[in-house]
Structure 1
Amino acid sequence: MLKKRKKKLKQIESLAVHIELTYSCNNRCFYCYNENHKPISMSMNKAKLLIQKIEDYVYTRSFPINIVITGGEPFENIDVLYYMYEKLSNIPNLSISINTNLATNDLTKIQELEKLKKQDEQIHFFVSIPSMFEGIYNKITCNTNYKFFIRNLEYILSKPEVFSIVSNIVVNNYNKDTLIKSIMLMKLIGINEFKMSPLKSKQTSNEIFTLLNKAIKFSKKLDMIFHGFATPFILTNKQKRSIDYQELKEYEIRNCGAGNTHFSITPQGFLTPCSAISSKHRFFNILETNNEFIP
């Protein structure tokens, strides 16, 4: 673990933090760093401590703070997800989003979350969409949850007064040939906002980025909103998916597929620049008594 850092964020105008409720996931995407973590989850006691830390921090700050509830798959730690969302919703000057694959086989989990919606607000989702085509979806996710994903997606899109969606596509060798068609299908079913995360390797880098530019031009013709390239995923031999931490400038915001971020908080409570890097680069555990939410 790194020694405790005393640096302050440089006069930020906003703060974006990812809270990882679990490393458990119902998909096993071949590029995902989750394969390198044990499937641990945040306990309810840790969630309560974290909420208190966030409340103490927010009430002493004047700038907006965005929190993304993520995983793993947050619907795999459903009780903590409900608790976290409800408590965070009551904190002023705070915006909340949920990063999910929407592949849960239990639709009632989404319907119960819907009951926590505040009046005149929406529940905001960042949705990972490997592909809109079943065969490609199953190949990328190493699973057969496509029917649940489509059912849940259609349910959410049928309630625009309740839910909003920004999708993210990790563009790779499996889905690159159908990327344009997937974007077209997303538009047809009602998804108007998206990001793309390029999967980089020596063999595919130039080809992938050429394709991404074509996809952006196509989406503009459909009047879709493109939110930019998310942090590239770098495929390595040692780690199925790894974001090179040396490329991440300390305390600067990054455009991630799960929503912009300055920091991530692990299920154990460790503060880290990104969960896709080695655990040895964690800063410290913010749930310990003497540690502030963000230094």
Structure 2
Amino acid sequence: MIHTFALNNMYFAVDGNSGSIHMLDELSFRLLSEMQELVPLESVIGIIRDKEKNGASFSGNPDVKPIAAYSYEEIEEAYNEIKELKEQGLLFTGPQEIEKAVSVNNLPDSIKALCLHVSHDCNLTCEYCFASKGDYKSGRKLMDKDIAFKAVDYLVNNSGNRKNIEIDFFGGEPLLNFTVVKEVVDYGRELENKTGKKFYFTITTNGVLLDDEKIRFINEYMDNVVISIDGRKEIHDSIRRDRSGRGTYDRIVPLVKKLVHDREGKSYYIRGTFTSLNKDFSNDVKHLASLGFREISIEPVVGSGNELFIKDEDVPDILSEYEKFAVEYAKSQREENSFNFYHFNLNLYDGPCIYKKIAACGAGFEYFAVSPEGYLYPCHQFV
């Protein structure tokens, strides 16, 4: 499947099977937009001419030159470049070619990461929460040290020849079980000395329980930290309220600023969620950037049956917002205090990643989630 699209007078093609992304000139784009498989040059020229005779403008753009404005030699050269990309396995690839390149049987048989649900409890009551406000519909509970250590042992014993392994402290709100978080980190350091493995720790937090002690600990021991802020104060406080119904923006922003400042360049990102209430989510991204945060992710809420969730009729507005923001983001990257928007930072230079096409996120074979009771799940979304 070839998907072509134009944005801001630039032309692109995505080969769905291989994941290859190509930036094209206008002529190559015109030719490729008429082909889902490589057809003879005369055929595609005929298709385009027939459309032009019927008064169709290309992609609704009347400024695009008609095919007659190009010489046959120019058209043939563009066609041959498309043909060469096919021969290189970068266009018109089929599923069978992917299967040849990466077999499921060749995927890793060792575990890389565990998501430790150290807390099925939360101090917030977010209406859009996929975890039913923190308890996953199973009642509030915290993971004890014995279960946590057994999970760490399981990771080490099933990590094979991997040297680097990962633990993500998750919830609910993991800082409600801060003691166990610290104990797991200490235990991991002991195992590093015994096994030669290297642990990478991440924590995901809403920031409400941050204080000087926790900030120092996180910045010393967490290789990455994910902090939830939904953007503008009025947006954040309309959703992310504590159990007494109060908004949390004013409490957490100064603490998160301190945490990020004190990390001195170590990895973090601010993760927000947008809903039907703020389809203009680019304003929330820009607000977070104005607070000094440089690593930002804002994602659409997932689900149905709640007025906050994204509906089919919202999609055109959201797509338009992404396109508008893409222009602003590109301009911002030339400024001194630029920021990174996670969802726009695709690596376009290393070629197609066929492994990820097959393996995706690794859920269920190199990544597992562990509930407070010690049950294994393919992913935190399955708990």
TM-score, shorter chain, exceeding 0.5: yes
Within the candidate set 122, 135, 140, 1:25 is matched to 122
**Structure 1 residues not aligned, in runs of 5+:** 1-6, 230-248, 256-260, 280-295
Higher helix proportion, which one? 2
Structure 1 residue 156, shift from structure 2 partner: 0.9
8 Å CA contact 1:216, 1:226 repeated in 2: no
SS in 2 for 1:17: strand
Matched, 1:271 2:376: yes
8 Å CA contact 1:123, 1:162 repeated in 2: no
Distance 1:44 1:66, change over 3 A: closer
Within the candidate set 189, 192, 202, 2:312 is matched to 202
User: Aligned letter for 1:56?
Assistant: N
Matched, 1:226 2:344: no
Structure 1 residue 73, shift from structure 2 partner: 0.9
Distance 1:188 1:15, change over 3 A: same
8 Å CA contact 1:18, 1:69 repeated in 2: yes
SS in 1 for 2:158: helix
Distance 2:278 2:186 in 1: 36
SS in 2 for 1:98: strand
Match of 1:107 in 2: 211
Distance 1:48 1:98 in 2: 17
Matched, 1:184 2:286: yes
**Structure 2 residues not aligned, in runs of 5+:** 1-103, 302-309, 334-338, 345-356
User: Aligned letter for 1:180?
Assistant: S
Within the candidate set 244, 253, 263, 1:160 is matched to 263
SS in 1 for 2:107: coil
**Equivalence map 1:130-149=2 (5 Å):** 130-131=230-231, 133-143=232-242, 144-149=247-252
Distance 1:86 1:188, change over 3 A: farther
Deviations 1:189-230 (A, max 9, x none): 33222223222433323322332343344334333223328x
Deviations 1:242-284 (A, max 9, x none): xxxxxxx9964179xxxxx84322222222123334x5xxxxx
Larger Rg computed on CA atoms: 2
Q: Which has the higher contact order (CA 8 A, sep 6+)?
A: 1
Distance 2:120 2:187 in 1: 22
Structure 1 residue 114, shift from structure 2 partner: 4.4
Q: CA RMSD in A?
A: 3.2
Match of 2:347 in 1: none
8 Å CA contact 1:103, 1:146 repeated in 2: no
Distance 1:167 1:114, change over 3 A: closer
Matched residue pairs, number? 240
TM-score (norm. length: structure 1): 0.69
Distance 1:14 1:252 in 2: 15
Percent of residue pairs identical: 18
8 Å CA contact 1:193, 1:225 repeated in 2: yes
8 Å CA contact 2:295, 2:340 repeated in 1: yes
Distance 1:67 1:23, change over 3 A: same
Match of 2:361 in 1: 253
Structure 1 residue 109, shift from structure 2 partner: 4.6
